[in-house]
Amino acid sequence: MTIRVLSNIKTSLRSRRYVVWLFFWSVLVLLGLWLGIWQWERADDKRELLARKNAAPALTDMTHTPVDGAKVTLEGRYLASHTLYLDNRTLDGRLGVAVITPFVDTHDQLWLIQRGFMEMGVSRAEPSAATPFKIVTIKGEWENAGEQGPIYGPNREGSRVQQLNLDAWSETLGEFDHSGWVHAQHGEGVFASWWEPNLISPSRHIGYAFQWWGLSIAACVVMLIGGRQLLKDSKNIREHDD
């Protein structure tokens, strides 16, 4: 009687082990499938975003917020005394800052202009960029403000900011007329261009999708082979016990 009870306990433990094995690997298989589908959908989203950017218009003398990626031309003057510097930018292996200056156009609209890269090296001295004190014309690409990564500590330290954010000017200038900024490329007061749209290509997302699906297939194979071996071992043990 005791031997039969012990045998039943062992059988129950082996069955539980088999169920846990299947559950664990099934979760991994389903997770891989879901992540692959998610990356595939991200590729579709990026195609649509790139299509919108490529179709973005060239705008001048605007009184409304441009669409993301629009090529804009503004005429007006810089508010030099409100210039801040986006810290820790790089260009061709050089370390520096990006010069960020508010701008008032001929319609008295307030814009934020990212004027380009200024080399600083490892110096932590306060940056100082030359700024024209006259009416200028600048051309660049519009970027809508959106969610950004976390900030560790205060965003602003002196005239440097960790993150390009309209709130850095809110206390001194109030709200901007347009939620975003112009990445200037041509015009007086514009420095070397360092900015590029932070877009992962659709093909990379598709590659990630196939990687996840490949891992899902591999997990499925391991699940089946391992489960088969567990059943085989369980059968051998039962025959031995009998």
Residue 242: other Cβ atoms inside 10 A: 6
Residue with tokens 């976390």: 150
DSSP state of 106: T
Q: What is the residue-level pLDDT of the chain in tens, covering all 242 positions?
A: 444 544 454 555 567 787 888 888 888 999 999 999 999 998 888 888 777 777 777 888 888 899 888 999 999 999 999 999 999 999 999 999 999 999 999 999 999 999 999 999 888 889 999 999 999 999 999 999 877 777 777 888 889 999 998 989 988 999 999 999 999 999 999 999 998 766 677 888 889 899 999 999 998 988 888 878 777 766 665 555 55
Sequence-ordered list of residues with C-beta below 8 angstroms from that of 21, at least 6 positions apart, any chain:
223, 226, 227, 230
In a domain, 181, yes or no: yes
**Which pLDDT score, from 0 to 100, does residue 162 have?**
92
Q: For residue 74, what are the domain limits?
A: 70-146+156-187
In a domain, 165, yes or no: yes
In a domain, 35, yes or no: no
The pTM of the full predicted model, rounded to 2 decimals, is 0.68
In a domain, 182, yes or no: yes
Cα–Cα dist 138/115, whole Å: 9
Nearest to 142 by CA among 80, 56, 51, 48: 56
**Which pLDDT score, from 0 to 100, does residue 196 have?**
79
DSSP state of 67: P
DSSP state of 169: G
In a domain, 216, yes or no: no
Taking the alpha carbons at both ends of the chain, their separation in whole angstroms is 14
Q: How far is CA 175 from CA 28, 104, 105, 109, 163, in A?
A: 48, 13, 15, 11, 17
**Which pLDDT score, from 0 to 100, does residue 6 have?**
40
In a domain, 136, yes or no: yes
- Pairing of the two strands 58-60 and 180-187: unpaired
Q: Could you give the number of structural domains in the chain?
A: 1
DSSP state of 118: E
In a domain, 82, yes or no: yes
In a domain, 168, yes or no: yes
Written as one letter, the residue type at 15 is S
